[in-house]
Amino acid sequence: MGSDFETWDALTGAMYMGAGTIWEHIWLWLSVIMCVVALWMGNSHESDAYERMEDNK
């Protein structure tokens, strides 16, 4: 694949460009926010569906 090393033993340090920078924190908090939003939206949808089911009884 165009790598200039023969074995993994030659690799040291970070495997991506953002290591050790503020981007680690940005991506972490972005993923946390996305998980919380997904949970909130799922809960909202399920609550609405439950209320519609209860109203149709």
Q: How high is the pLDDT of residue 3?
A: 65
Contacts of 11 (CB under 8 A, 6+ apart): 5
Write down the pLDDT at residue 8: 73
pLDDT for 6 equals: 73
Residue 57 pLDDT grade (very low, low, confident, very high; cuts 50, 70, 90)? low
Q: Is 49 helix (H, G, I), strand (E, B) or coil?
A: helix
Q: What is the pLDDT of residues 21-51, one digit of tens each?
A: 898 899 999 999 999 999 999 999 999 999 9
What is the model's pTM?
0.62
